[in-house]
Amino acid sequence: MPETFKAILVSRDEDKKQSVAVTEMTEADLMEGDVTVAVEATTVNYKDGLAITGKAPVVRRWPLVPGIDFAGTVLSSSNPGWKAGDKVILNGWGVGETHYGAYAGRARVKGEWLVPLPQGMSAHDAMAVGTAGYTAMLCVMALERHGITPQRGPVVVTGASGGVGSVAVAILSKLGYHVVASTGRGAESAYLTGLGAAEIISREELSAPGKPLAKERWAGGVDAIGSTTLANVLSMTSYGGAVAACGLAGGMDLPATVAPFILRGVSLLGIDSVMAPKALRLEAWKRIRTDLDLAKLKALSTTIGFDDIIDAAGDIVAGRIRGRVVVDM
């Protein structure tokens, strides 16, 4: 008999009512691909929470195994770039949205979607970083390309207690930036200070409708919230500054004006981690290995088991998750 493994499967009926179940699968049930991986660790991202709870239309193929990222070991490969025994990471590429994802014991994917696990990192470490941390690194790299150095002034990180925010705070502080961490959870101040934040501000300072152009407070920012928060961050960015936008936890709209762009030369840098080219991914993971204090991963992550994924999905959407959640498979 073929080996079976547990998987989470989201389905919906003719009335489009979604359901979630734990089932048994075999490799024959997996989708097409030229590399099969034993999933050793994964994580619960905000997007995974939306997929499992059905709070937003993340899933675009039914039924589907959710889970947008994983780390593991190649079991078999017909792709010349990979062989059995290779340690790999996957982020994005529609996995967990249109292609069976990480919440199963095995994953079959295209080899070009994979990158090597950096030397010195375990699968658990890689998923403590996860797509959220990899996205945070892409944001930092974008700010650097725009010339936003520590000498330019403070940088703000919104949603700082979340996955992207936590890693962004840790990376930016290690690189020497004065980090202003915005959070809606005042109880997390000590946590954020431990990650390297120099200042903590309340989410309320940025979440209410503000002026088209406000007092200059920072040279750059990393925003995972969107909506009014991003509009306010832009209005408070200093001349020639830039904000990297990568999320929509507060909404997809952007109720802003052109004032910051045409009066202060502010730039809005869009960050997409799902379809980012491989060269950028390789650079991001190389930088994560050198510019993120792996000791801080313990402070910004918690570990759960496969059976806890569904509950964690509800918690992350409800805003009850701090930092990163690693799933030990």
pLDDT digits (tens, 9 = 90+) for 17-56: 999 999 999 999 999 999 999 999 999 999 999 999 999 8
Do 153 and 261 fall into the same domain? yes
8 Å CB contact between 266 and 237:
yes
The structure tokens listed for 242 are 């830039």
Do 312 and 227 fall into the same domain? no
Do 187 and 230 fall into the same domain? yes
Mean pLDDT, to the nearest integer, of 98-120?
A: 97
Contacts of 187 (CB under 8 A, 6+ apart): none
The neighbour count for residue 280, using CB atoms within 10 Å, is: 15
Do 33 and 101 fall into the same domain? yes
Looking at the domain assignment, is residue 160 inside a domain?
Answer: yes
What is the average pLDDT value for the chain, to the nearest integer? 96
CATH of the domain at 138: 3.40.50.720
8 Å CB contact between 54 and 85:
no
Query: How much is the pLDDT for 193?
Result: 96
Q: Examine the pLDDT at 172 and tell me if it is beyond 80.
A: yes
Domains of the chain: total:
2
Contacts of 136 (CB under 8 A, 6+ apart): 164, 165, 167, 168, 171, 222, 246
Looking at the domain assignment, is residue 148 inside a domain?
Answer: yes
SS3 at position 301 = strand
Do 79 and 53 fall into the same domain? yes
Q: CA 183, CA 163: separation in Å to the nearest integer?
A: 12
Do 59 and 96 fall into the same domain? yes
Do 93 and 200 fall into the same domain? no
Query: How much is the pLDDT for 269?
Result: 98
The pTM of this model reads: 0.93
Query: How much is the pLDDT for 186?
Result: 81
Closest CA to 325 of 176, 162, 186: 162
Do 142 and 266 fall into the same domain? yes
Query: How much is the pLDDT for 300?
Result: 87
pLDDT in tens, 192-251: 999 999 999 999 999 999 999 999 999 999 999 999 999 999 999 999 999 999 999 999
Q: How many Cα atoms within 13 Å fall on the side-chain side of residue 147?
A: 5
Looking at the domain assignment, is residue 282 inside a domain?
Answer: no
Do 187 and 158 fall into the same domain? yes
pLDDT band, residue 253 (cuts 50/70/90): very high
Mean pLDDT, to the nearest integer, of 175-197?
A: 94
Mean pLDDT, to the nearest integer, of 118-139?
A: 95
Do 23 and 71 fall into the same domain? yes
Looking at the domain assignment, is residue 279 inside a domain?
Answer: no
Q: Which phi and psi angles does 216 have, rounded to 5°?
A: -70, 125
Looking at the domain assignment, is residue 195 inside a domain?
Answer: yes
Q: CA 308, CA 46: separation in Å to the nearest integer?
A: 15
Query: How much is the pLDDT for 19?
Result: 96
Query: How much is the pLDDT for 210?
Result: 93
Query: How much is the pLDDT for 298?
Result: 84
Mean pLDDT, to the nearest integer, of 171-196?
A: 94
SS3 at position 221 = strand
Do 102 and 70 fall into the same domain? yes
Looking at the domain assignment, is residue 167 inside a domain?
Answer: yes
pLDDT in tens, 279-309: 999 999 999 999 999 888 888 899 999 999 9
Host domain of residue 317: 5-117+294-328
Q: Examine the pLDDT at 187 and tell me if it is beyond 90.
A: no
Mean pLDDT, to the nearest integer, of 100-116?
A: 98
Looking at the domain assignment, is residue 289 inside a domain?
Answer: no
Do 145 and 98 fall into the same domain? no
The structure tokens listed for 122 are 């375990």
Looking at the domain assignment, is residue 276 inside a domain?
Answer: no
Q: Percent of the chain at pLDDT above 70?
A: 100
